[in-house]
Structure 1
Amino acid sequence: MTTSAVQPSPHPAAGAARLLATGSHALFLVLLAIGTWRAVATGTAYPPLAVLVPVTLAVYAVGALRPVRRSGPWWLVLLTICWGGLLLVSTEFVWVAFSLWLLCVHVLGLRWALPYAVAVLAAVVAAQLTVGAHPAAVVGPAIGCVVAVGIGWGAQLLTREARERQQLVDRLVSTQAEMVELHDDLARTQREAGALTERTRLSRDIHDTLAQGFSSILLLSRAGAEQQDPARLRELLGQIEATAAENLAESRAVVRALTPAQLDVGLAASLGRLLARLEQETGLDTRLEVDGEVAVLSTTEEVALLRVAQSALANVRAHAAARTVAVTLTNAGDTVRLDVLDDGVGFDVAAWSAGRLAAGGGGYGLRAMRDRLRDLGGGLEVESVPGDGTALAAHLPLRGPQQGRTP
């Protein structure tokens, strides 16, 4: 899965807020310049202007270049004092009040901006009345005050919206980064689970094929070491060679994750060959029964049943001390069954179920059989009584609608 970083698009609120801030700065400079020009034109004393105008510009620049924090109200008070000084020098500076009204909502908030705006309006009206009483001296500034405060409030709302949107985008980017990390963790976990499953499968295959083959070779070689008859010794050596060759083929199949070499001739024939070799090597009386109506199985199912048979017969050889062993492959309704029965010494099934056999080095093969069958939706049933043989029944569900004779 490919993920891309969030690319936030410019928001109209953020652009409008920046535009209003730039316009507010420009308006202050223009109104201050107009007031200064008109004051000089009307003959206002130059020395006070030469001091107050630069000081006012410097104070405004400090607030314009620095973000408004807790010191913002004090900065506005200082700027208002500078404006008041200019207003005392010349009433032409009443125009600057419009910029103060724009600023007050942003700096003080609407609650404190309203009384501040009224105070500035009172100062403007008082300055206007000193040069002549006229209704416009009150109505004009009042309208300007309402308009400026309204614009300032709108700008504050736009700024707040832009800030909230930026916070939302930041959270979205953070969440996306967490999702990407979670996706990577999930992919890594899935890879590890797949690797673990494959290792488990290979360990079962190795136990059911190579390990059992090596066990046969070991038993045959021990028998050969004690054999004095040259003919019997040659027979044992031939069996060792055949088992080693088969192990070699199985090892190649395991490495390449291919179908077991025995299944080249079909499941039923492979079971017959396993029993024939067991009888030849151990002298056991073996018997195979195959139901002619057994469903055609998939390769995976045939592999599972073959591995179960290999492991079960290896247990009979190594532990059962049996005289006879029988294998049956039958169709039982919607399942296929593989049964392995022997008349050997048996074992304690309860101890195996509780895991106590593992301490003595046994039990892994039975657990591997059970896990292999469970992976395919099947199961394993074991019945045994010490001294009275063992019955092992493996079953798998039939997944395909077609049935026929197992080759």
Structure 2
Amino acid sequence: MQHSRRPGTDPDAGWLAAVLDSAFLLLLAASLVRYLSHHPGNPRVPWVLGLSAALAVAQPAGSWLLRTRPAGARRGTPRPPGAGTDSDPNGGTTSGPGANAGTGSGAGPDTGAHTGPGAGRPAARRRLLPLTAVVALWVVLVLLAPSFAWCAVPLVYTALRALPARTAIPLVAALTALVMVAQARLAHTLDPIQLLVPPAVAALATAVFLYMERQAARQRALIDDLVRTRRELAATERREGTLAERERLAMEIHDTLAQGLSSQQMLLQAADRTWESDPATARGHVRTAGSVAARNLAEARRFVHDLAPAELADGRTLDQALRALAERESGESGLPVRFLLDGVPAPLPAAAQSALLRIAQGALANVREHADATAAALTLSYLGHQVVLDIADNGLGFAPPPAGAGPDGPDRPAGRGHGLPAMRARLRRFGGTLTVESSPGEGTVVSAAIPLDAA
């Protein structure tokens, strides 16, 4: 994208236009005083006075007109295809392709990209006409009075700013040649200095101006790249945030709702089997299923709002929450679960405590549903440099898949597979690791370790 440096978008264009106009008027006045003092009775004086007055009005008026009517902004003139503005992230706008530069002594060069034959020609004519009128008046005035030649200096800068380089450079060369002729007429002799100074000054001014313009164009391109990169990064961050939130919800649903529904299903199936033979036990299963449903509903509300598990609410510690989990699992599923604490508890962030608690819930759910175990144990160990949670059972065991393999084991039903990957994802946030030790017929031990310094 190329930017048009219109006065409305360049904060320096206004004062630079004022400086160029003031310099032109000052040189015009000095030249007029010199001419009148050297040629008081010359018959050309009325013409010189009239042309000077016309230039004194035309130069500032043309500059003001072009500054207040930037290219492409005239009512009723359709924009070329592709023209327009792009909003940047800070609420500003940048000129789109096809937008033409404003002109006059305070306008930028025509750097807009044209999208079709003839695109931007009316705007180019609006830039060229005021400058052409001023240059024509000045040429006539210099032919009448060579002392006005140095008024070309601000005209050179105006041409370089208002016109494309391919148009401005020939115009600057023509102005320089006319200055050389005027100086030779004033001196009445051929002075090498008069032949060398004007082209040297014009070449230096043109080279420096074009170099600065190209530097500015490169900076504008760099800014465009930075803005585009920032937009892409913002879009990437939004996508990553969406994926992270989706992963969080998937893990929470697996560790709360899915396991709760599985428990309810098992309890209701047990109640159905004993409904006729042992109504009291069946009703107990139904009541337990109801309490599981109520607890899951509360957990669902908490994870939607990204809150800590209910077991860790009201200032309860991780070992207290794990002990309560073991007691509840023993009472609801009939699977004896023991809790053991090894070492002195160290402070853990709430997020790390929540992760370990969810891992314990998920591992016990796998034991309950798949291990056919008769006992399980939760062991929380503080080992100085890390905290380790072990979930062990004496069930069937399985051949553990490699990390990242997906399913929790060969005996897991199709459609599941969030268990071990979800545990590893939780631990990665804290630089932790998950280890699974199991073999068929020998039970399973799941170990979750989090470094205390990383937590």
Q: What is the root-mean-square deviation of aligned Cα atoms in Å?
A: 4.9
Distance verdict in 2 for CA 1:19–1:243, change over 3 Å: same
Q: Given that residues 312 and 318 in structure 2 are in contact (C-alpha distance below 8 angstroms), is that contact kept between their aligned partners in structure 1?
A: yes
Is 1:189 equivalent to 2:240 in the alignment?
no
Distance of aligned partners of 1:241 and 1:359 in 2 relative to their CA distance in 1, 3 Å threshold: closer
Task: Summarize the Cα distance change of 1:281–1:107 in structure 2 as closer, same or farther, 3 Å threshold.
Answer: closer
Which residue of 2 is the match for residue 272 of structure 1? 323
Gaps of 5+ in 2: 1-8, 46-127, 157-168
Distance 1:336 1:285 in 2: 24
Contact 2:31 2:147 in 1 (8 A): no
User: For the Cα contact (< 8 Å) 2:392–2:444, is it kept in 1?
Assistant: yes
Q: Distance in 1 between matches of 2:308 and 2:180?
A: 90
Q: 2:208, 2:403 → 1: CA distance?
A: 70
Give 2:344's aligned residue.
293
From the two aligned structures, give the one with the greater helix fraction. 1
**Matches of 1:332 and 1:377 in 2, distance apart?**
16
Assess if the C-alpha contact under 8 Å between 2:180 and 2:198 holds in 1.
no
Correspondent of 1:347 among 398, 403, 422: 398
From 287, 301, 307, the equivalent of 1:238 is 287
Matches of 2:191 and 2:131, distance apart in 1: 26
Q: CA deviation at 1:257?
A: 1.7
Deviates more, 1:278-287 or 1:308-317: 278-287
Q: What is the CA-CA distance between 1:17 and the residue it aligns to?
A: 10
Count of residues in correspondence between the two structures? 350
Structure 1 unaligned residues grouped into runs of 5+: 42-61, 68-74, 84-92, 125-138, 402-407
Deviation for aligned residue 1:397:
1.2
Amino acid at match of 1:296: P
**In structure 1, C-alpha distance between the alignment counterparts of 2:15 and 2:25, rounded to whole Å:** 16
Pair 186,294 (structure 1): closer, same or farther in 2 beyond 3 Å: same
| CA distance 1:268–1:285, shift in 2 (3 Å) | same
1:314-353 CA-partner distances (Å, limit 9, x unpaired): 0001111111111111112311111011111112213675
Aligned partners of 2:19 and 2:224: how far apart in 1?
27
Corresponding position: 1:7 with 2:61: no
Tell whether 2:162 aligns with 1:158: no
Q: Is the 8 A contact 1:331 1:337 kept in 2?
A: yes
Amino acid in the other structure paired with 1:369 = M
Summarize deviations over 1:266-311 as a string: whole Å, max 9, x none: 3223222322232233332322111251323222121111000000
Q: Note if contact 2:172-2:202 (Cα within 8 Å) is conserved in structure 1.
A: no
Structure 1 residue 196: Cα displacement: 2.6
Match of 2:264 in 1: 217
Aligned-partner Cα distance in 1 for 2:388–2:224: 52
- Could you tell me the TM-score, scaled by structure 2's length? 0.61
1:388 aligns with 2:435: no
- Per the alignment, do residues 386 and 8 of structure 1 end up closer, same or farther by CA in structure 2, a change over 3 Å counting? farther
Call closer, same or farther: CA 1:157–1:237 in 2, change over 3 Å. same
Paired residue for 1:50? none
| Partners of 1:233 and 1:63 in 2: CA distance | 98
Aligned identity (percent) is 35
TM-score, normalised with respect to structure 1: 0.67
Instruction: Give 2:91's aligned residue.
Output: none
Q: Where does residue 78 of structure 2 map in the other structure?
A: none
Whether the 8 Å contact between 1:14 and 1:159 is mirrored in structure 2 is: no
Paired with 1:390 and 1:353, the residues of 2 have a C-alpha distance of 18
